[in-house]
Amino acid sequence: MVIFSLAAFVKLMFIFNLNINSVFQANIKLKESPSIVSICFSYYNRMYLFLLKPMYRLKEIPHPYDSKPATIIKKCAKHIRLTCLAYQKTTTFSKTVISLIIMTLSIPLHPLNAQTYKINKYGLQLIKDWSGYQTRIKMDSDLALMPLDSLIPDLKTDFVYATKNNFTHTILYQRPRAYLRKPAALALQKIAQQLRPLGYGLLIYDAYRPYNVTEKMWQVVPDNRYAADPKHGSGHNKGISVDLSLYSLQTGKAVPMPTEFDNFTSKAHQGYQNLPDSIIKNRALLKKFMEAGGFSPLSTEWWHFSYPNKTSRGHPYLLMDLNFDALSGQKQ
């Protein structure tokens, strides 16, 4: 028994060192300073990769970051059961003890304990507070919302939702600033750089939109032809959709487009053709540059474009409900 325990302890220390070293190396490769959370997160994954998977030939590795806590606990329980089964069949006592100790230790270390998101009444995962948002950014810097005016010096904005001059005739948010998630924001920066020599600048109507604004819109206009149903949320709530047009750098005026913003008739559709050639050309120019930059158009709104809903590390962008004051670094 003593020999078994000693062997288990030595093996545990060896595996622990191996994992911590590889976690630091991975972080150095990514040029990010390793935070406690990212170490715990990486350690959790590596523990399964290095230890449990080869030991018991587990096919499925739980992905802790985007699962619900209940799912994680279920998966951990499944792994413990599999480990016990493996012990009964072929493995040694020390192997099983190590696995059980590490799996038990890993549960309180789990980053989900940091409560990065809340589940709302529709069962949607929602980032509602600054600390949850910060924790996620530490895990994956692509999840950060970036202010577009800091990347695009000649960016113009016309935030109609901050006025009563919008389809709801109510002020939907205050002190807005145009934000998109980092990869989408950098892609838009590139598009602006390509349009500049042609004499065009970007005119933003709306970009990231807090989830509560989608709820407000739905209260006023509960019609999914005009507004996003809060049961699903919108790409704007995830910071990956943007409503925009072009303006002339020479005159500062908006380039003529098929309709004004938030016109909900067929005239606003991408495929609507009964228009002067010059307007079709303007619409096609915006679409061409946005698509080349990685954005997808929406068939019913010439102004709406969305970026893919996954970071390069495979994390989906969750709905967010932080208001603009909170994002500017002030307290909510």
Interface stretch with Zn ion, choices 18-26, 89-97, 153-161, 236-244 (CB under 5 A): 236-244
Q: How far is the CB of 131 from Zn ion (least distance, A)?
A: 29
Interface stretch with Zn ion, choices 52-60, 84-92, 162-170, 242-250 (CB under 5 A): 242-250
Q: Per-residue contact track with Zn ion, 195 to 234, x per CB under 5 A?
A: ----------------------------------------
Annotated binding residue at 304?
Answer: yes
- How many Å from the N-terminal Cα to the C-terminal Cα in the chain? 57
Question: What φ, ψ does residue 207 adopt, rounded to 5°?
Answer: -130, -110
Q: Which is nearer to Zn ion, 140 or 243 (CB)?
A: 243
Give me the residue whose beta carbon is nearest to Zn ion: 304
* Rounded CA separation 137/322 (Å): 14
* Rounded CA separation 146/231 (Å): 26
Annotated binding residue at 243?
Answer: yes
For 203, residues 6+ apart whose C-beta sits below 8 A from its C-beta are 156, 157, 158, 244, 245, 246, 247, 254
Interface stretch with Zn ion, choices 170-178, 224-232, 265-273, 296-304 (CB under 5 A): 296-304
Question: What φ, ψ does residue 245 adopt, rounded to 5°?
Answer: -140, -170
Q: Are strands 145-147 and 179-181 parallel, antiparallel or unpaired?
A: antiparallel
The count of residues interacting with Zn ion (CB under 5 A) is 2
Q: How far is the CB of 304 from Zn ion (least distance, A)?
A: 4
**Any contact of residue 243 with Zn ion (CB under 5 A)?**
yes
Interface stretch with Zn ion, choices 28-36, 61-69, 70-78, 304-312 (CB under 5 A): 304-312
Q: Which is nearer to Zn ion, 262 or 321 (CB)?
A: 262
Q: How far is the CB of 149 from Zn ion (least distance, A)?
A: 19
Q: Which is nearer to Zn ion, 217 or 322 (CB)?
A: 217
| 112 closest CA partner among 78, 73, 58 | 73
* Residue count of the chain: 332
* Rounded CA separation 81/196 (Å): 60
Q: How far is the CB of 13 from Zn ion (least distance, A)?
A: 54
* Cβ count within 10 A of residue 158: 17
Q: Which is nearer to Zn ion, 69 or 294 (CB)?
A: 294
Residues marked as catalytic = 301
* Rounded CA separation 19/61 (Å): 16
- The H or E element containing residue 82 is helix 69-89
Whether 202 contacts 156, CB under 8 Å? yes
**Any contact of residue 304 with Zn ion (CB under 5 A)?**
yes
* Rounded CA separation 52/55 (Å): 5
Q: Which is nearer to Zn ion, 142 or 243 (CB)?
A: 243
Q: How far is the CB of 306 from Zn ion (least distance, A)?
A: 8
Annotated binding residue at 169?
Answer: no
- Which residues define the annotated binding site for Zn(2+)? 236, 243, 304
The binding site for Zn ion (CB under 5 A) comprises 243, 304
